[in-house]
């Protein structure tokens, strides 16, 4: 299992995007369930358009090296009229360590649209998920980056309902992890190891191993 190779350092989120009190669906996308790299290397987003002016929706998929997760199933379960897809891909061999989410407004369509970018490797530059389009203006921009030396091993995506708009709302939480260091060399015979203690690592968030994919829906 990939989790045996990782030290989970932090959970970062929610991002603080506008969100209703009631969550309609939550799903976890995790590299742990895939036979690939232990960290996210790409994020794909599908923007779905409902017919007859209905509300839009978004679904998500992660890539971990050569392996892809299944698309999320956050819903709502409608027949979609059209869709757009965009993918943010980290340049090899970098993994993603941060996510930026922009929510923009299209005044002509009276609808909100999301765009997504990954922060990859040790660089602060962002890689955009092209092809999604966007709003006329950016209403909100929120992002999180994993602690130094750690990367995104999975993410939680939650969907909520905005009753006064033609859109759903989304929130995100990042699962940050790092590769465990090699086992230390045992001290020579006769050393009293009780006088030595490893310093606690500042995780910058709630630490602890995470499970595989899960989804909740109402």
Cα dihedral: 117, 162, 10, 68 (round 10): -50
- CA separation for the pair 1, 101 (Å, rounded): 30
130, 105, 106: which is closest to 116 by C-alpha? 130
pLDDT(151) > 80: yes
Q: What is the 3-state secondary structure (H, E, C) of 127-180?
A: EECCCCCCCCEEEEEEEEECCCCCEEEEEEEEEEECCCCCCEEEEEEEEEEEEC
Average pLDDT over residues 161-173: 73
Place of tokens 């310093």: 199
Q: Do 9 and 204 touch, CB atoms closer than 8 A?
A: yes
* pTM for the predicted model, two decimal places: 0.77
- CA separation for the pair 74, 27 (Å, rounded): 7
Q: Do 215 and 25 touch, CB atoms closer than 8 A?
A: yes
Place of tokens 């742990």: 32
- CA separation for the pair 127, 94 (Å, rounded): 12
- CA separation for the pair 97, 81 (Å, rounded): 34
Express each pLDDT in 72-114 by its tens digit. Answer: 999 887 777 778 899 999 999 999 999 999 887 766 666 668 8
Express each pLDDT in 112-130 by its tens digit. Answer: 688 999 999 988 889 999 8
Q: What pLDDT score was predicted for residue 3?
A: 54
Residue 81: CB atoms within 10 A of its CB come to: 12
């Amino acid at each position: 299992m990939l989790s045996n190779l990782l030290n989970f350092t932090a959970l970062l989120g929610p991002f603080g995007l506008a969100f209703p009190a009631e969550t309609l669906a939550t799903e976890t996308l995790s590299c742990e369930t895939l036979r690939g790299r232990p960290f996210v290397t790409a994020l794909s987003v599908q923007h779905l358009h409902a017919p007859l002016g209905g509300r839009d929706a978004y679904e998500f998929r992660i890539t971990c090296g050569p392996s892809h997760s299944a698309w999320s199933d956050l819903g709502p379960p409608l027949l979609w009229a059209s869709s757009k897809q965009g993918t943010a891909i980290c340049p090899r061999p970098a993994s993603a360590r941060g996510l930026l989410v922009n929510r923009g407004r299209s005044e002509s369509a009276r609808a909100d649209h999301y765009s997504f970018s990954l922060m990859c490797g040790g660089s602060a530059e962002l890689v955009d998920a092209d092809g999604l389009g966007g709003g006329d203006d950016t209403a909100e921009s929120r992002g999180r980056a994993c602690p130094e030396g750690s990367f995104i091993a999975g993410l939680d995506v939650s969907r909520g309902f905005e009753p006064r708009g033609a859109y759903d709302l989304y929130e995100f939480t990042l699962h940050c992890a790092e590769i465990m260091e090699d086992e230390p060399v045992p001290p020579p015979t006769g050393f009293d190891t009780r006088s030595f203690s490893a310093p606690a690592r500042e995780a910058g968030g709630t630490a602890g191993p995470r499970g595989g994919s899960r989804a909740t829906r109402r």
